Structure 1
Amino acid sequence: MINQPPISQEALIAENIARVRARIAESAQRVGRAPQDVTLVAVSKTKPLDYVKIAYNLGIRDFGENRVQEALEKRAAFCPSDLHWHMIGHLQTNKAQKVFGSFSCIHSIDSLHVAEALQRAAEKKSQAAPMDMRQPVLLQVNVSGEASKEGMTPEETPAIARQILAFSHLDVQGLMTVAPLVDDPETVRPVFRSLRQLRDRLRDEVGDVSWDQLSMGMTDDYAVAIEEGATIVRVGRAIFGERVKQ
């Protein structure tokens, strides 16, 4: 038997991306959606910048990070004009100054407090150099009610959304949620369905913005999330392999 040479990291990531894209297409087409309407955010947290560059060269243009400092370091080192960095992790208010304007989208506006901190950061920057920039953001909703999850409750979201929509430097584009970790992704289908239904309710009751974006679904459940209306899926392990524990 001839020993095969080990597969290169680039080849492995290429295979993974192809597999994920194929599954996105299958899931979208299953419910009559166009695959191109789903944005794949490759979650690169804890992964070396070389992995990001490999994925970028393979056609990935959206990358998600959880930790502000790690994200900013990667962004400073590698940020072609067509690359989009997403902040998907919990945002501490003392990091608002660093975060505002540094990401194509902040998915994790999980409270009015965080939104206020970003608005203040923007106003402070505007005093130093007048600007009319609006930071794209998503409101994080804790649909499952898990104590370990960040996010506003579905019940309080409409009232908080109305207040955030008044902030001149924030551009609310939709909602985000993190589903519970389960063995069977069908178990969390109701979570994704509930977020979509909340989005529809906000369109009717709050208006003002399109509420187009639904960021939901990760490695273990993104296929189900797409079937329930996800426009953004956040996939890390299925692209880059197991996460490095820190």
Structure 2
Amino acid sequence: MTDRKTELAANLAQVEERIAAACAAAGRARDEVTLIVVTKTYPASDVRLLHELGVRHVAENRDQDAAPKAAACADLDLSWHFVGQLQTNKVRSVVGYADVVQSVDRLRLVSALSATAEKTERTLDCLVQVALDAGSGERGDRGGVAPDGIEELAAALDAAPGLRMAGLMTVAPLAGPYAGRQRAAFERLMDLSTHLRVTRPTANMVSAGMSADLEDAVAAGATHVRIGTAVLGVRPKLG
């Protein structure tokens, strides 16, 4: 193996050990948690190496980086997740490659995604991004709706051609009552997911946890963890 492939293989093995241990500690089966590798700032060559190592889910947060990378890896059987704040003028591009949009947080975005998905005959899974640092009716500092905004967006997704309401996503907040309390934040997200699934049993994705707090996310019940640095290394500074 190349030096980079060896490095990625070792990092993946360590992350796999962490996920497996967290599942065991929580009394969960390992296959209940899907690893999504966040490949932002890293090249398509790394994505290809990750695929060779068995990774099938990758995530990006900036369309200008993701679109050419996805095109360069179009021959691979990968599921692409878009996890960043999405502007409506980028929707056409994102719908071209994303299988899952995890950052739905406003009605206008639902409408734009639906119109483009229908026009291009694609079906996208969508997660409502929940901001646990936002007050009623507000959006979070890093996107997302307050918990009381979930139902409105879920109903819009239910009615939107080309879109499937697939579940909830959050990022551990840096401010508010859950700042520094990742486990509590993820448990709150699970409570919201449980409520959502009473009327939408198929909306069962719960995306939470990153490199530093994946154990808290798994313990709380997350179905998907988004891991970047622990697999790919410390990111180069954007500049």
Same fold (TM over 0.5): yes
Aligned length: 230
Is the deviation greater in 100-109 or in 13-22? 100-109
Does 2:68 align with 1:79?
no
User: Tell me, what secondary structure is at the counterpart of 2:191?
Assistant: helix
Residues 133-191 of structure 1, C-alpha deviation per residue, up to 9 Å, x if partnerless?
Answer: 42111110102338422001101211221122111211111000010359xx9721111
Mapped to 2, the partners of 1:242 and 1:30 lie a distance apart of 28
Does 2:226 align with 1:239?
no
In structure 2, the residue matched to 1:188 is 182
Q: 1:39 aligns with which of 16, 29, 34?
A: 34
Residues 25-71 of structure 1, C-alpha deviation per residue, up to 9 Å, x if partnerless?
Answer: 11011111111121111111001122112211111111111111211
In structure 2, the residue matched to 1:4 is none
Mapped to 2, the partners of 1:222 and 1:80 lie a distance apart of 30
User: Greater CA radius of gyration, 1 or 2?
Assistant: 1
Deviation at 1:80, TM superposition (A): 3.4
Unmatched 5+ stretches in structure 2: none
The sequence identity of aligned pairs, in percent, is 37
Does 2:199 align with 1:199?
no
Deviation at 1:91, TM superposition (A): 0.7
User: Tell me, what secondary structure is at the counterpart of 1:107?
Assistant: strand
Mapped to 1, the partners of 2:201 and 2:85 lie a distance apart of 23
Mapped to 1, the partners of 2:222 and 2:75 lie a distance apart of 26
Unmatched 5+ stretches in structure 1: 1-6
Deviation at 1:209, TM superposition (A): 4.8
> Residues 9 and 81 (structure 1 numbering): CA distance in 2 closer, same or farther, change over 3 Å?
closer
In structure 2, the residue matched to 1:59 is 54
1:1-246 equivalent positions in 2, closer than 5 A: 8-123=3-118, 125=119, 131=121, 133-145=122-134, 147-180=140-173, 187-204=181-198, 207-246=199-238
Normalised TM-score (structure 1): 0.87
Runs of 4+ in 1 over 6 A off after TM superposition: none
